Amino acid sequence: MNLTEILLFCSVLNTGIAFGAGLYETKMVLPLWFNKSANGNYDVNFGNMQTIDSGRRFWAFVTTIPLTLLMIANLVFAFQSQSPLHNWWVAATLIILMERVGTFTFFIPTAIKLQKGESLQTEKISRLITWWLRLNYVRNAFTLAALLVFLKALLILQTI
């Protein structure tokens, strides 16, 4: 197994885990963190959010560090690869790059704000949660798209 195969295999594996975990978090964890009131506004269950703390207990070890490092390695090697692998590998890497940018610019800072957000106004909390829930579907879609494109790149590599 050469370095290209290792990088693509690890990318498929890590992206697949991230996608599955993202779906799990969407269905199982977020309802424990965010409550919708009768008037349609969201509020945070601070106790659950701080106790579960999946960002530090899980995501840091699955995506924040490993997927980010894999994406950087993929950028370096994908741009040096040849056709037909090149386009698929670069595309998958750019999709993950967009997902990583969204995670670092919105999801992580928002999680920190919400965990410490007892002093935030109710309207601001509700707005942040609404955006979180909507953008989380987009993030999961990006992760799935990257997974499928990484799989295609791995399949192409097997035929070369």
Q: Judge whether residue 118 has pLDDT over 80.
A: no
| Other residues' Cβ atoms within 10 Å of the Cβ of residue 89 | 28
Higher pLDDT, 5 or 121: 5
| Other residues' Cβ atoms within 10 Å of the Cβ of residue 80 | 10
Q: What is the pLDDT of residues 72-93, one digit of tens each?
A: 999 999 999 999 999 999 999 9
User: What is the reported pTM?
Assistant: 0.93
Residues whose CB is less than 8 angstroms from the CB of residue 43 and which lie 6 or more positions away in sequence, other chains included: 34, 35, 37, 122, 125, 126, 129
Q: Which amino acid is at 68?
A: T
Give the mean pLDDT of 111-124.
85
Residue 34 contacts residue 42 (beta carbons within 8 Å)? yes
Q: Where are the domains of the chain?
A: 3-30+68-159
The rounded percent of the chain whose pLDDT value lies above 70 is 99
Q: Which two tokens stand for residue 11?
A: 């990318």
pLDDT band per the 50, 70, 90 thresholds, residue 141: very high
